[in-house]
Copies of this chain bind each other. A is one copy, B any other.
Amino acid sequence: MSAATGAHTGTAPPDPHLEAPEARLETVTFGPDKPLRLDSGENLSPVTLAYNTYGELNADKSNAVLICHALTMDQHVANAHPQTGKPGWWLRMVGPGRTIDTDRFFVICPNVIGGCQGSSGPTETNPATGKPYGLDFPVITIADMVRAQAMLLDHLGIETLFCAIGGSMGGMQVLEWASAYPERVFSAIPMATAARHSAQNIAFHEVGRQAIMADPDWHGGTYLDHGTRPTKGLAVARMAAHITYLSETALFRKFDRNLQDRDTLTYDFGAPDFQIESYLRHQGMTFVDRFDANSYLYITRAMDYFDLAAVHGGVLANAFKGTKTRFCVVSFTSDWHYPTAYNKQIVHALIAAGANVSFVEIETDKGHDAFLLDEPVMDDTLAGFIASAARQRGLT
């Protein structure tokens, strides 16, 4: 689920010549006076949020757009990644004159707590020990991520978001935002997401976690103290997950049974025979350069715990009772990770709650990752919804 995905599956990657909006890379730390209350019952303190902003906040602070990132993404939504140098993961969507127009909106993208790009997470120093948290970091939830983001908005003096938008785990955060802080979300765009993680979703995540924990370099989560990193296990986790982000049709279209750099089968285990093998290995190898294994455990666990109906008496519509937020739910026909059926459950609940909701299922063979890729119908859909919401919000 990286910008690199597009590059490797042959879909147009962000044009490296596409102008990146000016990014402000910020960090805020909330001290002992502002602990983060967690769903587990624990308090997290201090709490640091690393976040990027683009564009300018207007005088009445009504033009803020919050972008919530997916499992393996981060706050570098529209600027070159400081570690990899790659273009921002949604550069095609965010910038001057683009769908999320940085000439009009003040765009905020925070790294989730539990992440590994500067926000509080298992790689950060545990003040109680002076060593990296590792598994001493408390287990967090999607609601905890959102609660931390609400503290960030308070810090920025923003009462109400013009829009909260995100795909995949980003969509979960958008749903949680609209549910927990309905008066703070004028419009919401959850994309390619789910209101509850299914048994199959959990199963794939569990495979990834077991792959990481099986790596002896994981050392029970204390690998940073040992000067190692469980890169092999994390790469296997990434490979397994990555298959779920692409459709069977897209894999056929891009790779089929094409051989890697040769005309015949190798009859050997030394080198990959098929391009799809080589592609997956590359995905695994490059992922470990920019992501932390314990963060992968924490964030997948947060997603697995997500069940918005369960915390509202088992009825999803209750999560949105009386909402005035305008919703636009987007799904993709070939997404089998969070299929249209999961997104429709959200739409049905919103309708039952009397919400203002648009729903668009976009015809594509690109699978779950379609929300990151070149999908003109998606662009048109979002542009239309945002324009309409902006008019209603009095943003001209």
Are A207's CB and B240's CB within 8 A?
yes
Q: Is A202's beta carbon under 8 Å from chain B?
A: yes
Closest CB-CB distance, A15 to chain B, in whole Å?
A: 27
Closest CB-CB distance, A226 to chain B, in whole Å?
A: 15
Closest CB-CB distance, A175 to chain B, in whole Å?
A: 16
Given the contacts A210-B235, A210-B236, A274 and B202 also touching, CB distance less than 8 Å = yes
Are B206's CB and A239's CB within 8 A?
yes
Are B232's CB and A280's CB within 8 A?
no
The distance in angstroms between the C-alpha atoms of A307 and B240, with both chains bound, is: 24
Given the contacts A257-B307, A269-B301, A214 and B236 also touching, CB distance less than 8 Å = yes
Q: Is A368's beta carbon under 8 Å from chain B?
A: no
Residues of A154-209 contacting chain B, CB below 8 A? 196-200, 202-204, 206-207, 209
Q: Give how many copies assemble into the complex.
A: 2
Q: Which residues of B contact A39 (CB under 8 A)?
A: 267
Nearest to A236 among chain B residues (CB) is B211
The distance in angstroms between the C-alpha atoms of A230 and B25, with both chains bound, is: 44
Interface size on A, residues (CB 8 A): 58
Q: Is A3's beta carbon under 8 Å from chain B?
A: no
Q: Is A263's beta carbon under 8 Å from chain B?
A: no
Q: Which residues of B contact A255 (CB under 8 A)?
A: 199
Given the contacts A233-B214, A276-B206, A281-B210, A200 and B239 also touching, CB distance less than 8 Å = no
The distance in angstroms between the C-alpha atoms of A262 and B203, with both chains bound, is: 19
* Interface CB pairs A-B, < 8 A, 13: A39-B267, A40-B267, A138-B267, A196-B257, A202-B277, A206-B276, A206-B277, A206-B281, A207-B236, A221-B269, A248-B336, A257-B307, A265-B305
